[in-house]
Chain A
Amino acid sequence: MALLSIRNLTTVFNCQEGMVKACNNVSLDINQGQTLGLIGETGCGKSVLGLSILKLLPVNAVSSGQIIYNNQDLLALSVKEMCQVRGSEIGFLPQSPATALNPVLRIGEQLTEGLQLHQGMVKEKARVIAMDMLKSLGLKDCDKRAADYPHQLSGGMKQRVVAAMSITGQPSLLIADEPTKGLDAVNRAQVIDLLRQLTIKTKASLLLITHDLKVAVALCDEIAVMYSGEIVEKGSADQVLNNPLHPYTQGLVASLPERGLFPIPGYSPSLLDDIPGCRFYSRCPIRNENCKHQPVINREVNGVHVRCLYVDQSGGTQQRIYGRGFQSEAV
């Protein structure tokens, strides 16, 4: 029984230009203690998927389908019930810690307010726990830092504070939204290390949303590849990255600098457009006429779910377009 199972989740934004389908019929499972990587390019809907789970999207977003967490459908919960889930059952590690902290509130207060709320702790006790958490994540002078405001902290310190904040409520599932966005190589390595610590410490499951394949390789058990609002490939991290089946996943791997930096030509289609066939059609190197009109179904090939008409049973598409697979490297 999965800890979280998403079934046919569709999230639509009502905009002046029309309906933006940011998540289209997405189904995913995350098991207890598992790390699932959700990868894809900017604007493919992966952050929306993460925010949909916690229902943190703006009012013009409408989600349908089911998000089953611990036998309850999160989409059916009231706002008040949802507040009980956020922070204590499901934690959220936001992208860019620089803007994720409230500039006019002290670090200590921002760290402890969740604890005080969910576990009814008094301020002093919540503070002790929060300080322990900070200390264990490698922040020095915690007591002094707690009295500081966010602008007095360095980027790395903020990263730790935000990480501590996301797990103080001891959630069983942590959603990390692009935790390495805009970081240099050193900081990225630190964040990966931090996330590893978090999952080991809390034994929580992790949904890691990232466009950084290296981060995904370093942390994930399973990987789901998202393209234009749909999951196009889903399987174990090893299989998906070393033996990518979907032409898009192959393109992603081939676009890495160490694999020759081959770009995928063209642009992803607008999320406003309803496309009857495959959404990758316009950029796909192995397309044919069927792909344009025929609805694509998920197929299972060697334990990997892939959304392409032309993936054969022997594994892989009929021709390898972009070169060899991606070797995991130590990051």
Chain B
Amino acid sequence: MLTYISRRLMMLAIVVLGVTIMTFVLMNVAPGDPAEMVAMARYGLENLTVEQVENIRISEGLDAPVWIQYMHWLAHALKGDLGRSLVTGDPVMQEIMVRAPATLILALASLVVSLLIAIPAGIISAARQNTMLDYLARTGALLGASMPNFWLALLLILLFSVTLGWLPVFGYGEFRHIILPAVTLGTGLAAITTRLTRSSMLEVLEQNYIITARAKGLQEGNIIFHHAFKNAFIPVITIIGLQLGHLLEGTVIVESIFAWPGLGKLLVDSIYARDYAVIQACVLLFAVLFVVINLLVDILYVYIDPRIRYEKKG
């Protein structure tokens, strides 16, 4: 198991290297002069002078060729120094440490919402195949999957904040603030998980060992929740792991809408300002999280599916 994990972590290094090179190249291909954008963000459009722009270009090393800039960044990053924000001048690490918990909380809350909806809906949908309940769950899943996050977010704000006045439009810090963003992200995820849980359950319920379980005289509830679900859950876990990765991505939009002070909003803001150091750090963190989550899922398999072992015993 340990060799397996260390091998996977080595692959993480390769992924991270690739992702950061890609980001660096893409940032430099994007239109707009970064020195000018940063100067605008620092001094404001009105008092902007040519000297200021050129000073920034030289002081931040933006005049060097792209690959030199990258090597420079990499050398520092390897020492654990992700640089300073071009706009605020604060250390990037500090900024990220402040923002990361907000994003993680939102991602986990969304995941919980999605599982609370998807697992029961998927199981019921399969156990009562082709009944009203099944059609209802499937229609709901179709809606959830086809509705874009930003639109659903606006609809929810319109209903629960503007019309009913039950929940705040945006904010951070209290439980009621997380409800709308978590529901927005969670319902979208739930759609996919519901479909997968349903089809996975249907497949498992046709297996011979389910007939064996029935032949023993076990009650239907025991069969569905114990014998069938334990098997059906294996592919669902895979999807949940992938979704957690995509959640980080999804938060970019939803955090912007709900002014949620997380990494997603930080990333969007720094892209507007061409704050290279912050963009690079955010992307780096997302890449690491994505790979680590997938690794955790793979490790989790061992505990869920006894047939999976990553190395031979003894």
Contact = CB atoms under 8 A, between A and B. Distances in A.
Interface stretch (A25-33, A87-95, A286-294): A87-95
Interface string A69-95: 000000000011001111110011011
A149 B306 CA distance: 7
Of B208, B212, B219, B227, the most chain A CB neighbours within 10 A belong to B212
A86 B216 CA distance: 6
Contact of B211 (A56, A83, A84, A113): A56
A92 B215 contact: yes
A117 B219 CA distance: 9
Given A105-B230, A149-B306, A99 B214 contact: no
A103 B307 contact: yes
Interface string B300-314: 000011110000000
A92 B218 CA distance: 13
A209 interface: no
Contacts of A51: 211
B231 interface: yes
Given A102-B227, A151-B307, A113 B212 contact: no
B219 to A, nearest CB: 6
A203 interface: no
B207 interface: yes
Interface in B212-234: 212-220, 226-227, 230-231, 234
B209 interface: yes
A274 to B, nearest CB: 27
A169 interface: yes
A99 B218 contact: no
A117 B306 contact: no
Contacts of A169: 216-217
A214 interface: no
Nearest to B129: A59
A94 B209 CA distance: 9
Given A149-B306, A149-B307, A151-B306, A103 B217 contact: no
Contact of B305 (A95, A96, A104): A104
Contacts of B305: 103-104
B127 to A, nearest CB: 11
A188 interface: no
A149 B309 CA distance: 13
B212 A92 contact: yes
Nearest to B220: A79
Interface string A43-56: 00000000100101
A85 B218 CA distance: 10
Contacts of B304: 104
B118 to A, nearest CB: 20
A118 B217 contact: yes
A90 B220 CA distance: 18
A51 B214 CA distance: 11
A87 B227 CA distance: 16
Interface string B194-220: 000000000000011101111111111
B218 A83 contact: yes
A96 B218 CA distance: 20
